[in-house]
A and B are shown apart, each in its own frame.
Chain A
Amino acid sequence: MTILTTVAPATRRIRSFVHQMRTPAGAIAAIGTVLLVGLAIFAPVLWGAEAAEVNVDVIARGPSAEHLLGTDSAGRDILLRTLVAARTSLMYGMLATLIGVTLGVIVGCLPSILPPWIGRLVTAVVNMLVAFPALLLILFLAVFFGQGATGAVFALGLAIVPNIARLCQTMTASVVGRDFVSAAKVLGVPRTAILFRHIIPSIADVIVVNATMAAASSLTAMAGLSFLGIGLQAPAYDWGRLLSEGLARMYVSPAAALTPAIAVTLAGIVLTMLGDTIGRAVGVTPVISMRKLAGLPTRSAKPEPDRGEAPHPEAVLSVRDLHVSFPALGKWVTPVRGVSFDIARGERVGIVGESGSGKSLTALAVAQLIEYPGRVEADAIVFDGVDYAGMSEREVTSHAADLGLKMSMVFQDPMSSLNPSLRVGPQVAETALLHGGGIRTQASNQATDRLAEVGIQNPKMRARQYPFQFSGGMRQRAMIAMGLMGTPKLIIADEPTTALDATVQRTVMQVLDRVAVEHGSAVMFISHDIALVTGFCERVLVMYHGEIVEDISSADLVEGSAVHPYTKALMASIPTLTTDRSRPMATVADFMKEDKA
C-alpha cells in the first residue's frame, strides 16, 4: 500500500518557527539549546583531562586568574569541571526522558487499540499512578534497580510514564471524538491506521512540547538524585554531585557550590523555554507584537455616509460612523467599519449578516463592552441622551447606573453566559442590588418576580439553583429576566435563540416580545435567521463585511424591494416552504456574479 503523507504543512511550520526564533524568548531558547548541546559534545573532549587533573598545590582555593572560579578539594578547576559535567548531566536526563516518553506514549495509546475493557483497566492504573508523586515511584524503583546511574535513569524514566500516558489518553480521547475520526471509521479505515494517521499526528505537537518540559525536570531530578548520593557514583560526576561536593565548603568558596547550581538551573530554564517556544510555534497562542501596533489605522477619509448627519435627538440609540478594531498578528484589523444607525424609542431593529460580518461587535461597542486591546472609535454613540463616544473607562463607569438599568443585554449562548458558580437568583438580582438602592431582600424578591414573569415556574426554588440545573431555554429566560431588573429603554439581544430548538425559541421570543411591549423597550435584535428577524422586528439592518449595506423595513425586505445586491442575493438564497423545487437554489455567489457582469 502506498504511504499517505501526513506531514503537516511544512512551510507554514518553518515560517512559524522562524518567527518564534525572532522573539527574545525564542532566541534565548535556541541559542541556549545550541550551547548546551555543544558543551555536552565538546567539553569533555576539550577539557576532560584537565578537569580530572588533581593538583595538591591549589586545594580548595578561591577564584584566581588561573582558576576563574577556584578549585575543589582535590585542586581541580571548578569551572572546567562544571563545563565537562554538562555531558553527563544532559545525557542521563535525556535518557530518562526518552525512556519515559516512549513508554508513556505506548501506554497512553494502548487503550485506543486494545479491547475496551483492557483499555479501561490501563486507564485506571495510569490514573492511580498519576496521583502519586514521582519521588515515591523513584524510591520504589530505586529499590529494584539499586543505587547508581542506571537505576536512577530507569527510575526517573518510569516516573515520567504515568504523566505522559495520561496526557496521551486525554488527548487521544479528544481526537477520537472528532468527526474526522468518525468519518475514517465509517469508511472502514483500520484501527491501527486511524491511530497512526489521525490520532498520533494530532497529538504529536502536545507530546513534543511536554516531552521537552519533562526533559527539563528529568535533568534537574537527575541532578537531585546525584546530589543526594543515589544517582551518579564517583568517580563519575555531574552537576548534582559537584553541588553536593561544593556545599560542604560553601563558607570557604561559595563558587564551588553556586557554579553547578546555576548550571543546572540554566539548563533547566533553557529546556523549559525551548518547550515554550516549540509550543508557541506549533500551537495556539496568538502572537501580538505590540511594537508594530503603534499606529492605529486612521478611519478612511471617505465621503460622509448617507446618515452622516448629527445624532438623532429623539432616538434611544444613535450611532454615527462606528469603527471597531483589534490587533491581530501585528496588524490592526477593523471588523466594523463606519456603521451608522438610529433606533427610535420602542422600535425593534434587527441586524442580520453572516458570521464575521461585525454584528455582534457592533452590539458590544454600543454597550461599551469592547475590552482592551480592542478599540472603538465613533463620531457618536448616543444612548438615552448621553454620548458615550470617546469616553474614557472612568467616564463610562460614572454612567454605570444608567447603562446598567436602562440598557439590558441578552447574550448568545445561555450555556456559557451565566456564571456557573453562582445561584441564578442572585445573578438575576444583582443589577438591582448594584444600581437600585441595594437592599438585598428587595432585590431578591424582585428577581423572583422577574423569573416568574419570564415564565419560570416555581421561581423561588429556581432562584436558589445553579445554572447547570436549568435547561437551555430556561437559562435564556433567566438572562432576559436579568435584563428586566431595571426599566430597559433598550434591550440588546445577540442571537438569543441560536442555541435553542424551534419550539423553545418560540417561547423565548414570546417572552422577549411581551417584555418589550410592557416596558416600552426598544430592541436591537441580532440574528442570522432572517425569517425570525423579519417576523419580530419592524426594521432590518443588513451587515456585510463590517458595513451596513441595507436599512429597510421588514415588510419591504420580505416583499423583495431590497436595493443592495447582497441583500437581494441573501433573500433569494433562503429556502422557504414555497421554494420551487424543480430548480436549483439561487445562491449568493450567482447574484454577486450577475451584479459584477
Chain B
Amino acid sequence: MTSLEFRNLVVDFGRGPKTVHAVKNVSFIVPQGSTVGVLGESGSGKSTIARVAVGLEHATSGEILLDGHSLLQSNRAGRMHRRQVQMVFQDPYSSLNPRMTIGDSIAEGLHASYRKSKQRVPSRRQIEAETQELLSLVGLDSSYAAHYPRRLSGGQRQRVALARALGAKPSVLLADEITSALDVSVQGTVLNLFRKLQSELGFTALFISHNLAVVRYVCDYVAVMDKGDLVEFGPVDEILTAPKHPSTRALIEAVPEMGKPLFVPAHRGVAR
C-alpha cells in the first residue's frame, strides 16, 4: 500500500504580529501499513497536521507526500491523491448530518469518490449494496441504513463515520481523537473495530490522541508533538518506556495511571 510523509511542514494561522505558529517544521514518515500515533496536548498542532493533509487547512510551507506525490497541490493531481486520504473526526455528534439517513451519508461519500476517480457512477442498487457492505464491515446491522443519526449512540455514530471514510477506499486513514468524546465503556469497541479494519484492509493510519494507553494499544510508532514542534518519534514501546525528550517525559508523567497514586501526597505544614 502506501506511505505518508510529512516533510518540513509549517502551518501558521493569521498574519503579522498576530501569527500563531501552529506547526513548526515537522517531518516524519508514516510507513506503509503501519499506524503512527500522534501524542500531544491541546495546541500542540497534532490535529492541524491531519487537517492539512486532507485539505481542510493550508500549509504555509513544506510538503505532505503520499508515495512521493504531493497532497498539497490544488490541481487535479493533488485532489486525486488527497482522495486516498480520509479522515474520521473527534465529535461523533457533529460529524454526521442529522438530516440525512445513515445510508445517505455513506452513499454520498461513495458517489463522490466514484465521480472523482472518473469511474462511471454505478447504479443505485449497486450503491445500496456497497453501503450495506460497509455497514456490515463496521459491525452494524444493515437496517441502520434507514436510520437517522439521532437514534444512534456515540459509539455507533463513530462506526458510521468510519464506514463513510472507508467508502472512499482510502490508502491512508487519519483518526483525530476518535474515542475521546466517548464514554470509557464504549471506547474499547471502537478501538477493537479500528484494529480489525486495519488488519483486514491494510491501510496506513495516523492516530491522533492525547491518551497514552490508547496510543500504545493501537499504534506501532508514535510522534510526540509539543507547541507545534515534533519532539520525538519512534517505536511506541521505546518512546513510552524510555522517553528521551523532557516534554515527552512530562506528558507521560502527567497522565494518571491505574494503581499508582497521582503524586506523593502533600503533607501538613507545607509552606503557604
Contact = CB atoms under 8 A, between A and B. Distances in A.
A55 interface: no
A503 B259 contact: no
Interface string B252-272: 011111111111011110101
Interface stretch (B25-33, B60-68, B83-91, B200-208): B83-91
Interface string B62-97: 000000000000000001001101110111001111
B117 to A, nearest CB: 9
Nearest to B109: A187
A4 B188 contact: no
A57 interface: no
A354 interface: yes
Interface in B154-188: 161, 164-165, 167-168, 183-188
B251 A513 contact: no
Contacts of B79: 188
Given A9-B148, A509-B262, A180 B97 contact: yes
Nearest to A181: B97
Interface in A1-53: 1-2, 4-9
A82 B111 CA distance: 56
A490 B263 CA distance: 21
B213 A575 contact: yes
B100 interface: yes
Contacts of B212: 577
B180 to A, nearest CB: 11
B262 A536 contact: yes
Interface residues of A, number: 64
A505 B254 contact: yes
A183 B183 contact: no
A549 to B, nearest CB: 13
A518 B259 contact: no
A345 to B, nearest CB: 15
Contact of B192 (A1, A180, A569, A585): A585
Interface residues of B, number: 78
Contacts of A584: 192, 195-196
B24 interface: no
Contacts of B256: 529, 531-532, 535-536
A299 interface: no
Contacts of B100: 4, 6, 197
B113 interface: yes
A182 B57 CA distance: 11
Nearest to B213: A575
B184 A532 contact: no
Interface stretch (A239-247, A273-281, A283-291, A586-594): A586-594
Given A183-B95, A189-B108, A501-B42, A354 B185 contact: yes
A513 B94 CA distance: 36
A142 B33 CA distance: 69
B54 interface: yes
A366 B161 CA distance: 40
11 contacts: A180-B105, A186-B56, A187-B164, A189-B109, A198-B97, A502-B251, A503-B251, A573-B184, A573-B185, A579-B217, A585-B192
